[in-house]
Structure 1
Amino acid sequence: MKIKQLVREQYQELCPYSAHKCDTYDQIDFKIKRAVETGRVTNTYPYRIVQYHNLQFVVSGDTVVNMSKNSDYAYVSEDRKQSYERKFYKIVV
């Protein structure tokens, strides 16, 4: 999955506390990918829109092209996040 530089900048602006904990863009990319993979898909046409807590990601094909905050809320459990982390780190290692 590709992530546009604009989305990284939006993440740093909209989630400063979370982004501040990251040392590199790779760590920010991991958080964005985790949000897109574990979030709830709310729309599929013309773009896939994924809601992760109060963040909304717009995915076109295999690229995250935009993100924003909104008032909708999609709960994602800690178990689901940990499951994604185990899968991700198993692939990386």
Structure 2
Amino acid sequence: MPKTYMISYNLKSRNRKYFDMLRSIQNLNGTNIHLQDSLWLVKTNETPDTMYQKFHKILNDCDSLFICELVPNYQGLASPADWEFIEKYTFR
């Protein structure tokens, strides 16, 4: 059963690979939304470990990455389209 994850990263290295990271996230099996600059919500059957292994190939030691399962206990400020996606795709 797919779960929803928050993926956040900070690419600090000189050899920033934003497009590689973007493609890697978009290529996960599931639905996703680019919610903020370096923050994605992804609903997928993949585990944090398998996602980490894919992303780790892109990142350098000075970069950072955080992957966390998201539960339906949230609040914030976002566009109507973002809220619609969150309500429709992340927790159903």
Same-fold status (TM-score > 0.5): no
Q: Greater relative contact order: 1 or 2 (C-alpha under 8 angstroms, separation 6 or more)?
A: 2
- TM-score normalised per structure 2: 0.32
> Under a length normalisation based on structure 1, what TM-score does the superposition of the two structures give?
0.32
- 1 or 2, which has the higher helix percentage? 1
